[in-house]
Each structure stands twice: as structure tokens, then as C-alpha cells.
Amino acid sequence: MTTEVRVPTLGESVTEATVATWFKKPGDPVAADEMLCELETDKVTVEVPAPAAGTMGEIVAQEGDTVGVDALLATITEGEAKSAPAKTEKAEKSEKPAASAPASGGDSVDVMVPTLGESVTEATVSTWFKKAGDSVEADEMLCELETDKVSVEVPAPAAGTLTEILANEGDTVQAGGKLAVLSSGDGAAQKAQVSEPTKSSDGEQYTTPPAGRDVEDAPSAKKAMAEAGISRDSVTGTGRDGRVMKEDVAKAASSASAAPAPDAAAPRAPSPAEDASREERVKMTRLRQTIARRLKESQNTAAMLTTYNEVDMTGVMTLRNEYKDEFLKKHGVKLGFMSFFTKACCHALREVPEVNAEIDGTDVVYKNFVHMGIAAGTPTGLVVPVIRDADQMSFAEIEKAIAEKGARARDGKLSMAEMQGGTFTISNGGVYGSLMSSPILNPPQSGILGMHKIQDRPMAINGEVVIRPMMYLALSYDHRIVDGKGAVTFLVRVKDALEDPRRLLMDL
């Protein structure tokens, strides 16, 4: 029986990919779900698993070929090979220590990488809370993994002894990969083995393959390096086993063009006069790398502009002080300022729909709903959980949703789904004391509102100077889709609704 290997769904609006690397060749035995090849799109790298066990047949799409969604990549002949699939060199290395340290008097339990979320295929081992030989309880936290967006804790699947750690801190692991081995036997602690990380001569751990390792780079990356005149040594690979991908070449080229000197993109070595003990070099977390990349992509893609206004918060503060106790008693949640701003923005977005739209190629996609992103600072970086259909929610529902999402964000428990699909974002820098700033767009959104510190300032009201609690507002918008008139109108409507909150109730 022959099974076809086809191109999987590549993601929203992505229709084609390039075959980067084949991990198997015709005639090789394969196991079900074993990685066969790696595809590159303009956004992500996609690994294609074997749909069944058997023997690798014909490879239809060669490395470097461009393929569409559901295109035929190869065939697998199901047969005797599926009962004894050959292991890859990497798998053999990882399994040998486990075989040499069987649990005496107990069962071995594999600790696997859990499901990481929609479209997330790999993570970095951030921290091990246990070491080989330690006793663990069922559901006790063994380690923490980092993905591009969230941190994932891995609990112990059973009680016993941690026999062997297969993925060390800093290693990149695939979804469903093996992290460690547990044993429930009494003698497991005596035979526990530690998988030590590779260290350089100065004691620093490798987080990428050592120089000189034979890793085949993606064909598209080789072509891009040749066209850009970039040497392989100047590119840091982020693909499987440190493989250089096309986007890595693009990053290296942009860094080189922006640098004042050819070697400016390389890590700065301390001068002889500097005291190295006064510096600390720490690798950026995956979350911080993603934040940096997305913010820079936003600046490079959107025609970003910011318009400012100020709002007298007297009306909101008076209404809040009058009803906050009754509100808390009835709804079980405090009445804050965010629900007023969310309501005001939803009100203004109905009048200026282009601020709630996005550009898709040559089309403008208008949204007849508001999925409000609320930027939240966490110990590991900025995340933007999304409150769906915020325009249909009451003040109490909005406050409850903000409190729940904020708590999950601080604890690192947000899922990928909870941070996707936003149509507009509110960022409150005022909680940190910011008086004025220009927020950066959260692509593909076309608008983001920046809130700031409430400060008493003298204002001229009806010919008299009075002290009022004032806040500066900033709307950053994509000028490709939002004109100045629409941006200013939006901000004025938000200002009007906040200065007279009764307008929200009257839909004015």
C-alpha cells in the first residue's frame, strides 16, 4: 500500500513554500510521525511528518522546489519496514544512555514535550527544576519551556526518580519530543545519568551546534547568501540543528547594511581596559526575540504616524468614585479605567471603521466586530491578550475579562489562541508613570491607543484657570489605510466619550 506525503496547511494567507531539506532518501525506513522534510515559507519553517510507517518511496519535490498547499511531496510504501523503523543518528544517541540505565524494580516513564499551542512546533528548554537522581512527585514541575509567546511548565507524569535528562537548558526541542526519563524503581537513583551540556574551553555552554559541525543549510539560504555576498560564518542559523534558513540570511543582510562597520553586527568584545566582571551577557529569551522582531517588522512595513490629544478625566473619575463600591458588590470586580477606554474605543471604531481594519495584499479587510487587545507587561516581556467581541460586552464583563487575562499573562499561562486575532490594541503606559509616548502598531492591526499618566494641570475652563486631572492620549495608525482626518476624528470621539461618559449610554 502506498501513502502520499503532501504539503500541509501553511497558515493564514500562505499558499506556497520552498522545500528546504529532506531528512530521508528513497529506500530509507521511516516511522510514523518521523520528520521527513522541512519547508520554508516567507513567515515560518514547517516540518512535514510521515503520515504512516514504511519505506521511503519516490521524492517528487526536490530541495529548492516551490510547492503549493496539498502538493505531492513524496510517497511511502507501507511494508515490513514499519515494524522495525530505522532510527536517525540523533535518536540513537539519545536512546543509548537510556538503555544503559534501566530502572531496577520499576518502570521507565518518558517525559515528553507537551502540546505547545496552535502553529507552535518547537520550544527552548529554559530551566530545569530537578537534576538527574532527584526524587519527584507526580505532577511536580520538572522544567520550564519557552516558546515565541508563552512559557510552558512540564509536570512529572508519575512519581519516581529522574533517571536521565535528554534536553538540557538552552536546547531547542520539538513538540512531542523526549525531554527526560523517569523511573519508579528504588534503584533508579543509583544508576541515574546526567546528560551534560557541551561546553567550550572557557566553560560557556553551547546553545547552537559547535563550529565545524556538518549541517546542511537550506538551499534557498545558500542562494540568498550567494546573491547578497554574505559568508556562512556571518549568519546565525535558527533552523533545525543550527541550519541556516532564508530569513536568517535576510536578518544578517539587514544588520550588515545598517551597521557602520562590517563587523558591527558581531558581539562586541570587551576592550582590554574594560573589567569583564562588570558586564553580564545573557541570551535573549524566545519571547524577547519575537517581541523585537515583530516591533521592527511593524516599523518596516507600516507607514506609521501618531496623533495626540488630551482628555479631562474628571467625568470618568467622578462616575467611578460614585459607583465603584456598588459595582464591586454586585459584580465582584473593581470598576477601573480600562473598561471606560475600551467602551470609548469600541464606540469610536464604529464611526471610523478603517482604524479597525487591516491590509491583506491589495485588499482592505474591514471588521464588523472588535477583538480588543490589551497590552500587558509581564516579568518576561510584553504580551497582548485579546478580549473577543469587546463591543458586545458590558462594563462588568470587560473588567472581568481584563482581570482574568492579566492574571494569566503574569503567570505565563496565556495560550497562543488568546493572543491572536486582535483588531485594535490599547496600551496603558500610565501605570508605569509615562506622561507621553508613541506606541508601535501591533501588526496586522492599523491602530493602537496609548494611555498615559493622569496628572493635575491648570486648564482654562470658561475663561477661568482651574486644576483638572488630565491625560495625554496617543493614537498610532497605519497611514496606508487611515487618513489624518479619520485618525483625528477617532481620537476626538474617544476624548468626547471619556469627558462625558453619559454619551456611551446614549450611543452618541
Q: Per residue in 393-428, pLDDT tens? A: 999 999 999 988 888 888 877 777 788 889 999 998
Confidence (pLDDT) at 467:
95
- Quick one: pLDDT at residue 199? 43
Write down the pLDDT at residue 138. 84
Would the pLDDT of 314 be above 90? yes
CA 492 to chain centre: 34
Of the listed ranges 125-134, 284-293, 352-361, 427-436, the least confidently predicted one is 284-293
For 471-501, give one letter per residue: b (16+ CB within 10 A) or e.
Answer: bbbbbbbbeebbeeebbeebbebbbbbbeeb
How does residue 487 score in pLDDT terms, banded at 50, 70 and 90? very high
Please report, rounded to a whole number, the percentage of residues in the chain having pLDDT higher than 70.
76
- Domains of the chain, with CATH numbers? 2-83 (2.40.50.100), 89-191 (2.40.50.100), 231-258 (no CATH), 289-506 (3.30.559.10)
- How far apart, in whole angstroms, are the C-alpha atoms of residue 374 and residue 390? 11
Residue 479 is among the residues annotated as catalytic for this protein? yes
Instruction: Compute the Cα dihedral for 146, 148, 151, 154 and give only its sign.
Output: negative
Place of cell 496600551: 427
What global pTM score does this model have?
Answer: 0.49
Q: Is the pLDDT of residue 219 over 50?
A: yes
Question: To the nearest whole number, what is the mean pLDDT of the chain?
Answer: 79
Task: Calculate the CA 409 to chain-centre distance.
Answer: 13
Bridge partners for 359 per DSSP: 364
- The order of strands in the sheet holding 54-59 is 2-6, 72-77, 54-59, 29-30
The one catalytic residue among 139, 148, 483, 500: 483
Percent of the chain with pLDDT over 90: 26
Residue whose cell numbers read 562597520: 261
Rounded to whole angstroms, how far apart are CA atoms 42 and 278? 41
By DSSP bridging, strand 135-136 and strand 16-22 are unpaired
**Residue 304 · residue 479 · CB < 8 Å:** yes
Looking at residue 185, its pLDDT comes to 56
Q: According to the model, what pLDDT value does residue 215 have?
A: 56
Which has the minimum average pLDDT: 102-111, 112-121, 128-137, 284-293?
102-111
Band (pLDDT 50/70/90 cuts) for residue 352 is: very high
pLDDT at 354: 94
Three-class HEC string of 15-38: CEEEEEEECCCCCCEECCCCEEEE
The per-residue pLDDT for range 427-485, each reduced to its tens digit, is 988 888 888 999 988 888 899 999 999 999 999 999 999 999 999 999 999 999 999 99
Residue 188, phi then psi, degrees to nearest 5: -65, -35
Q: Is the pLDDT of residue 218 over 90?
A: no
Residue 149: per-residue pLDDT = 62
Provide the grid cell at 89. Answer: 543518528
Block residue for cell numbers 499573562: 409
Which neighbouring-strand residues pair with 29?
Answer: 55
- pLDDT at res. 401: 92
- Per DSSP, 435 falls in state S
User: Which pLDDT value is given to residue 216?
Assistant: 60
DSSP summary character for residue 405: H
pLDDT in tens, 328-350: 999 998 888 899 999 999 999 99
What CA–CA distance (Å, rounded) separates 29 from 8?
A: 22
The pLDDT score that the predictor gives to residue 295 is: 77
Condensed to tens digits (0 to 9), the pLDDT of residues 5-57 reads 988 887 666 678 888 888 888 888 888 888 888 888 766 678 888 888 888 88
Is 452 catalytic? The answer is: no
Confirm if 382 and 376 have CB atoms less than 8 A apart: yes
Catalytic entry in 70, 217, 479, 507: 479
Per-residue pLDDT at 82 exceeds 50: no
Buried b (16+ CB within 10 A) or exposed e, 69-87: eeeebbbbbbeebbeebee
At residue 242, the 3 state secondary structure works out as helix
Worst-scoring range by mean pLDDT, 18-22, 28-32, 239-243, 267-271? 267-271
